[in-house]
Amino acid sequence: MVCVLDLVELDELALELVAGADAAGRPLAGASVNEHADPTPWLRGGELLMCDGLELHRSKRHIDAYVDRIVAAGVAGLAIGIGENLPFARVPRLLANACEVAGLPLVKVPSTTPFAQVSEAVFSRLTQERFGEAPMMVETQRALTRAAAKPASSPSVVATLARLTGLLVMLCDTEAGLVTASPDVAAAPPAVVAAIREMAPRGLHGTAMVPCGDGYIRIEPVGATSLRGFLAYGTEHEGISEFQGSAARFAVWLLCIDLERQHVVRTLQRRPREEAAERLARGLTPAAAEQLLRSRGMHADRVKVALAQPSAGDIADAVNRVADLIPEALVGRDRSAVLIIIPADLPDLAARLAAGIPAWPVGLGGPVQPHQCPISLRQAQRGAQLAQQRGGGVLDVMTLASARILLEGVPADMLRSYADATLRPVESADGGELLLRTLRAWLAACGAADSAAAAAGVHRHTLRHRLQRVEQLTGRHLDNAHDRGELWLAFEARDLAATSGLPSLHLTAGTSSRRSYPRARTKYTAPATTGPRIHVRSAPLSALLTDPCSMGESIVSTQTAAPASMATRPLTLSPRQPQ
């Protein structure tokens, strides 16, 4: 084992230990020269980092940040060149204090000692150790290979590595969950969990080292093509020797093979269930949906759809993880999210999801019949969006008590048909845009005339006149709660359909509740007419949710002429041309 103390004891190098003497016995894995202000992208951990301080500012904040970065990267020691023609003629006190606080050995290198000579001393001793330990390494690799050939490959490899090296060895999944460890521990240390969660987004790139007592733990990613887990190994009493590190790296490759094999096997075994979930999400006939469910072992009259957004890693790994968490479910993919179809009466579903995948945003749709899975899926997609805005967790849309969630279960074309059939008589009339603005302002004000008039920018008498005009055109009575509710739902349906990305046939300005309108002062006077009055009435909301075919139909009734005070102009029933 080569350490900083070994180098300081070499007279030919003339090195001086300035700070961090307590950690000077930490093993060195190599030596590196780097003058960048942030050298961490070029570090692997365990190095003696050497520099002249070209990018080192003379401020406490900058020096503390520099030391913190290289310590987090696992540097085993820092060597700084000192001389009259160099940036520093003596070791900066701020740097010495920062290294002492961080427990990082700081070595002064005189200008007469080239960095190349220090590197040569480090690597020559590492080479001597490596050749001396070669026979032992061969036997260790043979033992690890025999362990990898056993049925329970990963636990055997971890146990064998710990027995032959004396290290604490932990295999964790991509979410820092402990898979197996030797010696047995209940869970990975908090510092290891935090480091894994920070490393996971980088995939197979990079390693980390975290302090553990007087020693440290090294963390390396495991996987051949995608991240499958992490191997953490180390000791609380001393550093990791070259022999221990070489044995652990060989174990990493054996674990890569085993985890990739497990991944392929699980994927093949679960593919029929994934395909079933994806087919149900696209929509099937009632008979086909029921038959598919029963063929996959799920006997449920009603189901729920959940959508989970993985925080990192391969989507196939995320599917396997959720399938392990909820064996009763059909688990598949919906783009980059995990699609989950479960029986509606499955107990404690939200709690199981929250406990098993706490960092993932999860939306849980409402209960539906199996052939109606697309409706529950749309609700789950909305719930996942809201859960992501809230920072993760499980959101059950049935707990929101929102009419908008109800409408999101209806296809956009049906929403648009319902809204057009309800609002078209108003928007097709002269001044229809002003009438729609006024009606929406009045509905938003809960029928308060003064507030609605102020919001619409009109006098309350003008407001009253326009509302009477709406009643005449729609055949609805605004003092009736049912009629008011259907008008309000028509506006909500149009807003929701407008966000679906499909073209709208009758989208007029002033129909969005999120849009602010100028204060209008235009007064509209309805000319008196004689003759029959035509009312166009849309199908009720119940038809929207039960019989979509009725959305394009209207009920046209002919009545006798109204009094002059309630007269209205005839309606044109042809489709309105886009402006």
Place of tokens 């807003």: 495
The type of residue at 331 is V
Give the chain's count of helices (H) and strands (E): 19, 17
Give me the helices (H) in 227-305, please.
Answer: 242-282, 286-295
Residue 485 has pLDDT above 80, yes or no: yes
Answer yes or no: same fold for 4-130 and 299-407: no
Please tell me the predicted confidence (pLDDT) of residue 176: 87
Q: Locate the domains of the chain by residue range.
A: 4-130, 155-261, 299-407, 412-566
Most confident of 200-204, 394-398, 447-451: 447-451
Please tell me the predicted confidence (pLDDT) of residue 132: 66
Residue 164 has pLDDT above 80, yes or no: yes
Q: What is the largest CA-CA distance in the chain?
A: 116
Please tell me the predicted confidence (pLDDT) of residue 525: 38
Q: Please, which pLDDT band fits residue 159 given cuts at 50, 70 and 90?
A: very high
Q: Report the C-alpha gap between 120 and 10 in whole angstroms.
A: 12
Q: What is the pLDDT of residues 280-304, one digit of tens each?
A: 998 899 999 999 999 998 988 999 9
Residue 403 has pLDDT above 80, yes or no: no
Q: What is the pLDDT of residues 106-149, one digit of tens each?
A: 999 999 999 999 999 999 888 877 766 677 888 899 999 999 99
Q: Report the C-alpha gap between 397 and 413 in whole angstroms.
A: 22
Residues of the chain above pLDDT 70, percent: 83
Percent of the chain that is helix, strand, coil (3-state, to 5):
45, 15, 35
Of 67-76, 158-167, 233-242, the least confident: 233-242
Report DSSP letters for 218-238, one per residue.
EEEEE-SSS--EEEEEEESSS
Please tell me the predicted confidence (pLDDT) of residue 93: 93
Report residue 535 as tokens: 């009312």
Q: Please, which pLDDT band fits residue 240 given cuts at 50, 70 and 90?
A: confident
Torsion of the alpha carbons at 39, 44, 50 and 56, rounded to the nearest 10: 20
- Half-sphere exposure in the Cβ direction for 32 (13 Å, CA): 21
Which helix (H) or strand (E) segment holds residue 454: the answer is helix 449-456
Q: What is the pLDDT of residues 545-571, one digit of tens each?
A: 444 434 433 333 333 333 333 333 333
Residues of the chain above pLDDT 90, percent: 40
Q: Report the C-alpha gap between 252 and 167 in whole angstroms.
A: 14
Q: What is the pLDDT of residues 299-357, one digit of tens each?
A: 889 999 999 998 766 687 788 888 888 988 999 998 889 999 999 988 888 888 888 88
Please tell me the predicted confidence (pLDDT) of residue 523: 36
Domain topology for 299-407: Alpha-Beta Plaits (3.30.70)
Q: Please, which pLDDT band fits residue 103 given cuts at 50, 70 and 90?
A: very high
- The DSSP 8-state label assigned to residue 71 in this structure reads H
Instruction: Indicate the pTM of the whole model.
Output: 0.45
Residue 521 has pLDDT above 50, yes or no: no
Residue 575 has pLDDT above 90, yes or no: no
Q: Looking at the domain covering 4-130, what would its CATH class be?
A: alpha beta
Q: Report the C-alpha gap between 160 and 319 in whole angstroms.
A: 31
Mean pLDDT of 14-27: 91
Measure the CA angle with vertex 432, ends 446 and 565; round to 5°. Answer: 80
Q: What is the mean pLDDT of the chain?
A: 81
Q: Report the C-alpha gap between 245 and 253 in whole angstroms.
A: 13
CATH of 155-261, picked from 3.40.50.10140, 3.30.450.40, 1.25.40.10, 2.30.30.230, is 3.30.450.40
Report DSSP letters for 91-130, one per residue.
--HHHHHHHHHHT--EEEEETTS-HHHHHHHHHHHHHHHH
Q: Which of 442, 419, 415 is nearest to 491 (CA)?
A: 419
Left (φ > 0), alpha (ψ -120 to 50) or beta: where does 565 sit?
alpha
Report residue 496 as tokens: 């929701």
Please tell me the predicted confidence (pLDDT) of residue 499: 55
Please tell me the predicted confidence (pLDDT) of residue 121: 92
